[in-house]
Amino acid sequence: MADYLPGFIASYSILLVAVMSPGPAVAMLLGLGLSRGRGAALIASLGIAAGSSTIALITLMGMGLLLQQAAWAITLLRLIGSAYLLWLAYGAFRKALNPPRVEPAQMPPLSFGRAFLTGYLLQVTNPKAIVFWLAIGAVGATTGAPAQITALFLAGAFAISLTGHGFYAIALSSGPVRRAYQKARRGVEATLGLLFTFFAFKLATSRS
């Protein structure tokens, strides 16, 4: 285990910076936390972590490199991811134009499966995540490692993703933030719609 520790530390440091950097996932957690509550945002965080682990497993098995070399596969994945972000943008714009008549706290809770899939699909349809995990793989944290070491590495990566995104879910669904949202709901949802549209455009036009 000690032989793999430097690679673990380097990989986890890169992952922590990536997790804490604002992006589509944070925007999605903000929207869920404000409109459907902390529980939905935390479940979506679990979905994001599961999606990240799925990509990590695929990449460490070598299939990520194959996907990167198949230009059509990356292009297809990029377009699917962009379409999903545009769907999220549509939902935000719809709320901005026709805000719910009930307060967020009175809305029916989002089902576990739907909240989980919202986070999971956002992560697994992002080809940049594959490129990111290829970079992690280049660090060589698990090169030549037995299965139990690789499993331990993936468990740690899952925990980092869940903790980081869970922090955002809790912070962005706090009482003061939700009260501010109730006062400026249209503007917040419109801003989220613009952010999702921007992220969709960036993803669709990316060449990485």
Q: Are 152 and 7 in contact (CB under 8 A)?
A: no
* Digit-coded pLDDT (tens) for 168-198: 999 988 888 878 877 787 888 888 889 889 8
Tokens 């719809």: give the residue: 94
Q: What is the pLDDT of residue 112?
A: 92
d(CA 31, CA 37): 9
Q: When comparing pLDDT for 185 and 100, which is higher?
A: 185
Domain count, the chain: 1
| C-alpha closest to that of 66 among 76, 57, 58, 54 | 58
Q: Which residue range forms the structural domain that includes residue 183?
A: 2-14+23-205
* Digit-coded pLDDT (tens) for 8-56: 888 888 788 778 877 888 888 988 888 888 899 999 999 999 999 998 8
Chain centroid, CA 22 distance in Å: 10
Range in 90-99, 122-131, 151-160 with the lowest mean pLDDT: 122-131
Give the range with max mean pLDDT: 62-66, 81-85, 179-183.
81-85
* 105, pLDDT greater than 60: no
Q: Are 62 and 169 in contact (CB under 8 A)?
A: no
d(CA 65, CA 186): 43
Q: What average pLDDT does the chain have?
A: 81
Q: What angle do CA 200, 20, 94 make, to 5 degrees?
A: 35
Burial 25-35 (b: 16+ CB within 10 A, else e): bbbbbbbbbbb
Give the range with max mean pLDDT: 1-5, 113-117, 124-128, 143-147.
113-117
Tell me how crowded residue 160 is: count the other CB atoms within 10 A of its CB: 20
DSSP letters, 50-114, are: HHHHHHHHHHHTTHHHHHHH-HHHHHHHHHHHHHHHHHHHHHHHHHHHS--SS-GGGSPPPPHHH
